[in-house]
């Protein structure tokens, strides 16, 4: 089996925003980019973060951006960084931050605190959660590659294995991680593919 080179998110201490990376279109890589989110015009769209520096970020966007457009980039859940799109090339975009960021803080992986969560997107639809032989109807509050937050009048057991079925997606094996009243956090056993999740979100928004 061919072993592909691995392409991951690059972190830099440079104050300059990342430049366009020229790579041959026919080169094949296994990509393990970090997932982020872009906010603009009242929207919140997921993206892949290819390169981060103190001065900016290079992303692969799943939405249309334009040069000069003001945006906010979420590299950690709930911590948007404001900036401006400086260039766009195909699905890649360079964003210059309004103020420099602490790259070391982005690299922290929480040995002494909660792990930064994957970017979540609000979505309002019905899901079905099967726990044992019982199927619960639940309202989705938000979704990420790693799980969903749902609300249901039927109690779920924290720590239990469940199967979550979202409309239009295959059933996902998952675990109930937390409860806050009638609201539950559920982690998928395997990450949802980002491209498929983005396509699903766009379809839901257009519904």
Distance CA 39, CA 70 (A): 9
Distance CA 159, CA 156 (A): 9
Residue 103 gets the label, from left (phi > 0), alpha (psi -120 to 50) or beta, of alpha
What are the structure tokens assigned to 100, written together?
A: 């420099």
What pLDDT score was predicted for residue 139?
95
Contact 152, 139 (CB under 8 A): yes
* Phi, psi values for residue 45, rounded to 5°: -120, 140
Collapsing DSSP states into helix, strand and coil, what is residue 203?
A: helix
* 186 DSSP β-pair partners: 148, 176
Contact 144, 120 (CB under 8 A): yes
Domains with residue ranges and CATH for the chain: 6-107 (2.40.10.220), 121-206 (2.40.10.220)
What pLDDT score was predicted for residue 140?
93
**What's the gap between Cα 127 and its chain centre?**
20
What pLDDT score was predicted for residue 202?
77
Distance CA 52, CA 18 (A): 7
What pLDDT score was predicted for residue 112?
41
Question: Which helix (H) or strand (E) is 199 found in, with range?
Answer: helix 194-206
Q: pLDDT 10s digit of each residue in the chain, 207 long?
A: 444 444 556 666 577 887 765 544 433 334 457 888 999 998 889 898 888 888 989 999 989 999 999 999 988 777 889 999 999 999 999 999 999 988 767 655 433 444 445 667 778 889 999 999 999 999 998 888 889 999 999 999 999 999 999 999 999 999 999 998 999 999 999 988 877 887 888 787 654
Query: How many Cα atoms are found within 13 Å in the side-chain-facing hemisphere of 90?
Result: 5
Collapsing DSSP states into helix, strand and coil, what is residue 147?
A: strand
Farthest CA pair distance, the chain: 56
Q: Residue 194 has what DSSP assignment?
A: H
Cβ-based neighbours of 85, under 8 Å, separated by 6 or more: 65, 66, 67, 68, 69, 70, 71, 93, 94, 95
What pLDDT score was predicted for residue 132?
94
């Amino acid at each position: 089996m061919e072993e592909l080179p691995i392409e991951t998110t690059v972190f830099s201490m440079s104050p300059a925003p990342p430049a366009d990376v020229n790579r041959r279109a026919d080169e094949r890589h296994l990509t393990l980019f970090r997932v982020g989110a872009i906010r603009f015009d009242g929207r919140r769209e997921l993206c892949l973060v290819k390169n981060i520096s103190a001065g900016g970020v290079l992303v692969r966007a799943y939405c249309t951006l334009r040069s000069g457009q003001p945006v906010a980039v979420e590299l950690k859940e709930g911590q948007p960084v404001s900036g401006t799109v400086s260039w766009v090339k195909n699905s890649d975009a360079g964003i210059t931050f309004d103020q420099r960021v602490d790259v070391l803080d982005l690299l922290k992986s929480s040995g002494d605190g909660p792990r930064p969560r994957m970017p979540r997107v609000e979505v309002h639809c019905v899901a079905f959660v099967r726990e044992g032989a019982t199927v619960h109807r639940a309202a989705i509050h938000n979704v990420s590659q790693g799980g969903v937050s749902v609300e249901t009048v039927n109690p779920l057991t924290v720590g239990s294995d469940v199967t979550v079925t979202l409309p239009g997606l295959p059933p996902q094996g998952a675990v109930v991680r937390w409860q806050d009243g009638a609201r539950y956090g559920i982690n998928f056993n395997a990450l949802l593919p980002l491209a498929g999740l983005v396509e699903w979100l766009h379809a839901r928004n257009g519904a």
